[in-house]
């Protein structure tokens, strides 16, 4: 009986040997091809200058997706019902997706940010109501450093779902200043002084041209717009210097800059004369 059982086991092993061998070959070759394809995809992404974080993430995603397909193929070779396996895998994926809904939305948003690149590391941006320099673009969140050196961590889903302002995306920026003068002052003289300031500052660009014009006849002042163009890197330095120069120059030239003030008029009421 023992001999018969051993013989039956041996016959069974011989009968399934081709299937097992085929499954092993599928696993070995499939995993090797998966790694090869993933590496090729990563190299192609790097050649297209895709962000290294995104290229590595996509490489891992491609590799594990191919490995799962290889495992399913190997299971089918062994005669296992792959439909039930796929059903379990789908249910598991759904459960994981629901549990990690917020994290997955941040990852999806991170991938979109890294693909479309509305901003890069080093740019100054305003995202999700926060302004700062981009220090890191990760798959889950983006790290900003504010001008006063605070570290702000913003989830990627909030960034992608809101307005993105890239402050340093372009090489040049326009400084918009409104300069109010008194109604008694000479408009042409004030405009000439502003033109002179623009011409003397080498940081102010000739092209595009500076704009100096009367913008508004306000309640207590004539408002002039002064709009010079500068390199983005010079924006704040030139803006601060111009504001100081305008005040000093207008004071020297006798042009007043109105400011809110209130006049109080006192009337002395005479008491009525008492009858004699």
| pLDDT given at position 1 | 47
Residues 85-110 have pLDDT tens digits of 666 666 666 665 555 556 778 888 88
What is the spatial distance between Cα 52 and Cα 155, in angstroms, rounded to a whole number? 19
pLDDT greater than 90 at residue 226: yes
Burial of 114 (0-12, 13-18, 19+ CB in 10 A): buried
Residue 28 has pLDDT above 90, yes or no: no
Please state the rounded mean pLDDT for residues 223-241: 95
Predicted confidence (pLDDT) at residue 22 exceeds the cutoff of 80: no
% of the chain exceeding 90 in pLDDT:
42
Residue 258 has a CB neighbour count (10 Å cut-off) of 16
Q: Do residues 54 and 114 make contact, with C-beta atoms less than 8 angstroms apart?
A: yes
User: Which structural domains are found in the chain, ordered by start?
Assistant: 2-99 (1.10.287.1260), 118-166 (2.30.30.60), 172-252 (3.30.70.100)
Nearest CA among 177, 134, 172 for reference residue 156: 134
Among candidate residues 177, 179, 185, the one with its CA nearest the CA of residue 256: 185
Give the DSSP H or E segment for 245. helix 235-252
Mean pLDDT of the chain: 83
Q: What are 135-159's pLDDT values in tens digits?
A: 988 878 899 999 899 999 999 999 9
Nearest-angstrom CA–CA distance, 171 and 232: 6
Q: How far apart, in Å, are the Cα atoms of 56 and each of 3, 16, 64, 187?
A: 56, 40, 12, 62
Q: According to DSSP H, which parts of 48-81 are helical?
A: 52-77
pLDDT at 194 over 80: yes
Q: How far, CA to CA in Å, does 80 sit from each of 58, 85, 90, 179, 237?
A: 30, 8, 17, 81, 72
How many of the other CB atoms lie within 10 Å of CB of 136? 12
């Amino acid at each position: 009986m023992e001999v018969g059982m051993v013989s039956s086991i041996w016959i069974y092993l011989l009968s399934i040997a081709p299937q097992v061998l085929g499954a092993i070959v599928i696993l070995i070759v499939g995993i090797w091809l998966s790694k090869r394809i993933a590496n090729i995809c990563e190299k192609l992404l790097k050649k297209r200058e895709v962000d290294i974080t995104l290229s590595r993430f996509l490489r891992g995603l491609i590799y594990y997706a191919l490995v799962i397909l290889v495992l399913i193929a190997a299971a089918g070779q062994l005669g296992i019902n792959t439909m039930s396996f796929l059903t379990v895998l789908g249910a598991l994926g759904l459960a994981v997706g629901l549990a990690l809904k917020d994290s997955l939305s941040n990852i999806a948003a991170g991938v979109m940010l890294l693909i479309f690149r509305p901003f890069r590391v080093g740019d100054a941006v305003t995202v999700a109501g926060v302004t700062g320099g981009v220090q890191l673009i990760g798959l889950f969140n983006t790290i900003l450093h504010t001008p006063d050196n605070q570290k702000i961590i913003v989830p990627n889903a909030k960034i992608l779902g809101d307005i993105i302002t890239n402050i340093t995306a372009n090489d040049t920026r326009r400084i918009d200043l409104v300069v109010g003068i008194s109604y008694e002052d000479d408009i042409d003289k004030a405009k000439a002084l502003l033109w002179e300031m623009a011409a003397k500052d080498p940081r102010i660009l000739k092209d595009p041209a500076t704009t100096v014009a009367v913008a508004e006849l306000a309640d207590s002042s004539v408002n002039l717009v002064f709009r010079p163009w500068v390199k983005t890197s010079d924006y704040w330095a030139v803006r601060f210097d111009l504001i100081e120069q305008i005040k000093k120059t207008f004071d020297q030239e006798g042009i007043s800059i109105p400011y809110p003030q209130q006049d109080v008029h006192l009337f002395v009421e005479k008491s009525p004369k008492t009858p004699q």
